Structure 1
């Protein structure tokens, strides 16, 4: 196993914060099942409580453990994940309520990046999937652009920078346009 992954997993097990690469920008990862770790993410980002934070999973099995998509949502997930898409689906009670901001829904990422997937798979639990920046600041694509306090970073150099497209699979709408927007819009139209 990659030493960086090993060290990052050890940090996550201690409720620490890890900056990790995705196919879009650098993310800020913490144990998504730990109230303490999740609160640290809000704190270092200066993110208002009540504003949801997405989680990253490594496969459909882990997604099904924390969320409850309907059949149409699963069809979308199987088509676009892993990939630069955040899907919003009903949350299960195993996640700290702060992550869903009291909405009953959770944003889920399955990053199409080998390092991110290996990190989550090795940690064997979902991690937070928010960009490694202060709230309202640009999302970081290099180490120099990371503006939050963290305990460890897996640095792979520059990343593309196009944010993920956020898709509400309950209301069948795009909440934030980003990567693969035309293909996603077409798929949502076909779902109706």
Structure 2
């Protein structure tokens, strides 16, 4: 019970940090990830600076449901089937973006990667925040994806910028990353084969 209350307190604090433009590290169904307000340009700049990642690298968003995802991307045909079959789950689907997605998010492409995680904390966080959050591994770009807060702290100990808040869920299972599928054309293609094995 105490752990449950502590987690709810952590989620409430994380939502405050997200609303203030900060970067939150938290467990997901694949590894610890970094989230920020995906529709806040300053928050995105901070995320890229913390990760030391080029600003032109596309980044995916996490939402709470397929219905939410449809607000931001065009889900038709196989993209819709994949989402219905595998969400929540370790699957990121790249689809044509809708006008609700601000141009400063992934400005070099006309698509958006969207995911609904199969993870209670992640879903609760994005539901409580009420708007899409980023989903990217909580590491310095090019380094190993972390599966514990100790691994995050070790990576960022000597870095000039650190995440603004970390929800400590202990050490999590070392699962492969999410599978990424590009459904922006008539046929979907696998960009990254991850935990979810697809056959279509």
TM-score past 0.5 threshold: yes
- For the pair shown, the structure with the greater C-alpha radius of gyration is 2
Residue range with higher mean Cα deviation, 143-152 or 10-19? 143-152
Query: How far apart are residue 101 of structure 1 and its match?
Result: 4.3
1:24 is aligned to: 30
**TM-score normalized by the length of structure 1:** 0.90
Answering whether residue 61 of structure 2 is matched by residue 47 of structure 1, we say no
**For residues 165 and 137 of structure 2, what CA distance do their matches in structure 1 show?**
15
Q: 2:12 aligns with which of 3, 6, 30?
A: 6
2:159 is aligned to: none
1:179 is aligned to: 195
Answering whether residue 98 of structure 2 is matched by residue 85 of structure 1, we say no
Q: Which runs of 5+ in 2 are unaligned?
A: 157-161
Query: How far apart are residue 71 of structure 1 and its match?
Result: 3.1
**For residues 81 and 99 of structure 1, what CA distance do their matches in structure 2 show?**
23
| Mapped contact 2:41–2:105 kept (Cα < 8 A) | no
For residues 38-63 of structure 1, the C-alpha deviation after alignment (integer angstroms, 9 at most, x for no partner) is 11111111111211011111111221
Secondary structure at the aligned position of 2:57 is classed as: coil
Q: 2:164 aligns with which of 151, 160, 164?
A: 151
Answering whether residue 129 of structure 2 is matched by residue 115 of structure 1, we say no
Q: Which runs of 5+ in 1 are unaligned?
A: none
**How many residue pairs end up in the alignment?**
184
**TM-score normalized by the length of structure 2:** 0.87
Query: How far apart are residue 93 of structure 1 and its match?
Result: 2.7
Query: How far apart are residue 69 of structure 1 and its match?
Result: 1.8
| Mapped contact 1:84–1:179 kept (Cα < 8 A) | yes
Following TM superposition, the consecutive aligned residue runs of length 4 or more in structure 1 with deviations greater than 3 angstroms are none
Residue range with higher mean Cα deviation, 8-17 or 86-95? 86-95
Query: How far apart are residue 6 of structure 1 and its match?
Result: 0.5
**For residues 55 and 155 of structure 1, what CA distance do their matches in structure 2 show?**
22
